[in-house]
Chains A and B, each alone.
Chain A
Amino acid sequence: MYQKVWVTLIAFFVTAGLPELVNTAQAKGISDLGPGCGLGKDLWRDSPNTDKWGVQILISTTNNTIVPFQAFGITSQTMGCKNSGKFWAEHKANMFASLNFDNLSQEMAQGGGEHLASMATLMGVSEDKQPEFFSMTQERYLSFVNAGEASPVAMVKALNEAAASYPPSTTVASK
């Protein structure tokens, strides 16, 4: 099990996620060293050192837990991002997808569930559009899961694109 989370997270943070998101972060100007966007700040920092939040998650994951200790300290500024609320929303959706990939896959196949509803909410799919969103994920289950196997970020992207083709759902991208 831990192996699996580990692999998932590797996929997210290293193989696909990190370089891509570091670029995103730079593009969005997340260079803030002050308070307000700590999680993003630590996660996107492009240092090869292991003090990145993403790597910390990996380390604690391999060691029998999935919760990074320091990342959620109250004043360590895990939450909120003063530079760009949009960036933060996107990040929350990606983090959620990568940490709940198994629950999400299962619920997509089942056509509903709290993880899928939460994912939809993070993506900005309104509550009345969610049943539609759920049956869409069930219908295209295989393609989303295949995307997710490569990287949860890719899955979120695929979900966003698919949701966008189900008007009038809103997506993070259009928020």
Chain B
Amino acid sequence: MRPRHRIRHQPPSRPNNNTVRCRVAPAAKRAPRLSSVVARRVLPLALLLALFPWAAGATERSDPSYADELIAQAGSAKLFEEREWHLLLHYKPMLFGGFTSEQDDPGFFLSSAGKTDPRAELEATLRQFFSAEAVGRSKQPAQCAFIARYRWLKEKLAFNAARLPPETCARFDEWLAELNSQSITLIFASAFVNNPASSFGHTFLRVDQKGQTDQTRILAYTINYAAEVPRDAGWMYPIKGLFGGFKGYYMTPPYYLKVREYRDIENRDIWEYRLNFSERQVTRLLEHAWEMGNAYFDYFFLKENCSYQLLWLLEYADPSLHLTDSFYLWTVPADTVRLIAADPGRVANVTYRPSRSNVVRRKRESLPPDQRALAQRVASDPSAMTDAAFARLSTAQQAFLLDLASDYLRYRMDTTDKALPELKDRNQEILAARSRLRIPSPDFPVTPFATQPELGHKTSRASVGGGWRNNDTFEELSVRAGYHDLLDPEPGYTPDAQIELASVTARYYNRAEQARIERVTLANIVSLSPIDSVFHSPSWKFDLGMNTIKYNGCQLCSNGVLGGGIGGALESKWLRREVFFAFAEVEANYSAAYDDRYRAGGGGTAGLLADLTDRWKIMASGSYFKFPLGDKSDDVRWFVGQRVTLSQNVALRLEYRHRDYDNDVVLSVQGFF
């Protein structure tokens, strides 16, 4: 057995950091250098520990022969091949045989070969159970630090308590008592397009407490997996995030902090999925979470992220669940929700918790126009509360208007970085008036703008189609890694937001007898935020990719595109719902077809996105660009596209694109997978 005497009295250094939603969570500041704390902290602690020899060093229990017996017994039962052992250690089979653990903290393994050798790890674990030496990041005896392993093996091998005395794990017991667990709820914080780190949503677990009510569920603790990102990560941040340069940890903040973060500050809808697990399964989940507190994982933004790491906990709670196997290259939080929701009988109920901005929107919608305007007047000048129009209202109506005005002011305060004392003063004045109306505010049920994520289409998309381009016909095949574009079926997705990543379209032109990569999209993001008298966020877009143009006599020429724009959007409800948008844009193109091989310039786009029926959506836009740099030219573009949803994961598209001398019509069937 390797000695494990390195007791770190200080937690590992953690630099100041920034918060990064799904990828990252806030971290604490860097612990002081060891030298500066040795005298004050570590010495007294060391003295204290010296009084308890078991805590500072390994003291073998009697009866080491029992360890050999257990190892032999475990070997003949082939416990190291069992699914639960692999779940506990996060082993995944490797391409050419063997196993490797996704766990990256050496302190998590009790054998030096533990990362790749399930059997060696099992044997070392069994041996370590005979020692009270403090192991793991949490510095406890192995039986306590790795309590899920201990309890599983104890059950499998029927440990003889006389020959392997059980440790008392007071820390674990207190932790468990404080959690006071009753059940587990999966929480999904919806996508937040305006922050790239939150574009795909976030998931975490809530440990519901015994005796908890709907009103007190914010007191429950959560289990949240997040990466720790130094504040000065700067431009390295996305690169490190993609390639595992940050460390991820499991944490247990209370739910009210998460509600405040997502609902109040970031204005994201939250969905709560109460999961059916037996009492024993809930305890197993917590035991494993406790073990995971001993270690970090390298955090990979795309796959081994917040959502993925939670799946291990759920799988260990109920090993009949197979969740982590479903993800290869990336794990999109909404996909994990869909996967869990698809398990029959797993979800007991679903609760919606609207973002504050959506509360304000729905409350405004419920009012007649004159009261809507009155609430707005009160919010901008509380002396409007003395208006005759306000005094005429019933007490309940007055209370409703004041609540709305206060919600709006809090929305403004929570979403601005600047301190706005005048907003705070107004809010206090309104709340003081509200408190004088001695009635409670009734619940206001909010209908979500975006339906539950599990009702949405899957993340990746493939389509097959054909069409005409100028004087030619073609067949087309297209694959997109993720995620959603403005014309895709809207259920489950944030309205008016588009994130397309890694998409490739190949075509075969029949007359030209040419197969070519027609279009590549690395990223194409559009965020439309309809402006009204209350909400004024700008809309924006970004595009990076390559398409095919007809230009200067070149019939099919590859053309690199980099562009972006900023603008505004308006919403109307004439038919069902229409969004009008306009952008001012800049764009740069690179192609052999251009003189000087490039052109750069700017222009504008205006368009319309309209729901014609539940399943039928149409988008039309027109653009004009002028390119004064490089190949001096200009460009007129039209786009008309429509989509009919056939089922949750199948849709039909008809799109027409025009640019100067180029006309392109394509009809395709799209499937999501």
Contact = CB atoms under 8 A, between A and B. Distances in A.
Interface of A: 1-4, 33-36, 47, 49-51, 53, 55-56, 59-60, 63-80, 82, 96, 99-100, 102-103, 105-106, 108-115, 117-118, 121-122, 127, 131, 134-135, 138-139, 141-142, 145
Contacts of A100: 256, 260
A72 B14 CA distance: 14
A51 B417 contact: no
Nearest to B263: A103
B575 interface: no
29 contacts: A1-B415, A3-B418, A35-B174, A55-B29, A56-B29, A60-B19, A60-B27, A63-B16, A63-B17, A63-B26, A67-B26, A68-B28, A69-B25, A69-B251, A70-B28, A72-B224, A73-B11, A73-B250, A74-B292, A78-B252, A103-B264, A110-B399, A110-B440, A111-B441, A113-B441, A114-B215, A117-B213, A135-B438, A142-B435
Interface stretch (B406-414, B478-486, B496-504): B406-414
Contacts of B31: 51
A44 to B, nearest CB: 14
B221 to A, nearest CB: 7
Contacts of A56: 28-29
Interface stretch (B98-106, B118-126, B424-432): B424-432
A63 to B, nearest CB: 6
Contacts of B584: none
Interface in B594-635: none
B289 A74 contact: yes
Given A47-B40, A70-B14, A99-B257, A79 B440 contact: no
B48 interface: yes
Contact of A112 (B17, B406, B432, B441): B441
B138 A75 contact: yes
Given A67-B19, A72-B251, A74-B293, A51 B219 contact: no
Interface stretch (B175-183, B449-457, B512-520, B650-658): B175-183
Contact of B171 (A35, A66, A71, A139): A35
Q: Which of A3, A67, A80, A106 has the most CB of B within 10 A?
A: A67
Chain B contact residues (Cβ within 8 angstroms of A): what range?
Answer: 35 or more
Interface SS of chain A: helix, strand, loop or mixed? helix
Contact of A109 (B170, B251, B431): B431
B432 A141 contact: yes
B290 A109 contact: no
B410 A106 contact: yes
B250 A115 contact: no
Interface in B1-47: 11, 14, 16-19, 25-29, 31-32, 37, 40, 44-45
A145 B434 CA distance: 13
Given A109-B432, A111-B441, 17 more contacts: A36-B171, A60-B19, A60-B27, A60-B28, A60-B29, A64-B19, A65-B261, A73-B250, A74-B251, A79-B179, A79-B252, A80-B174, A103-B264, A109-B406, A110-B403, A118-B218, A134-B440
B170 A96 contact: no
Contacts of B161: none
B428 A145 contact: yes
A1 B290 contact: no
Contacts of A112: 440-441
Nearest to B439: A111
Contact of A82 (B45, B174, B403, B434): B174
B28 A71 contact: yes
Nearest to A61: B26
A74 to B, nearest CB: 3
Nearest to B26: A65
Interface string B295-328: 0000000000000000000000000000000000
B409 to A, nearest CB: 10
Contacts of B260: 66, 99-100, 103
B219 A121 contact: yes
A117 B218 CA distance: 10
B216 A118 contact: yes
Give the 9 A-B CB pairs with smallest separation, nearest first.
Answer: A74-B293, A69-B27, A75-B138, A70-B28, A141-B435, A117-B215, A65-B19, A111-B440, A75-B293
Q: Which of B44, B137, B223, B251 has the most CB of A within 10 A?
A: B251
Contacts of B386: none
A67 B253 contact: yes
Interface in B446-503: none
Contacts of A70: 11, 14, 27-28
Contacts of A35: 140, 170-171, 174
Q: Which of A51, A113, A127, A138 has the most CB of B within 10 A?
A: A51
A76 B11 contact: yes
A1 B261 CA distance: 12
Interface in B248-288: 249-254, 256-258, 260-261, 264-265
Contact of B29 (A59, A99, A111): A59
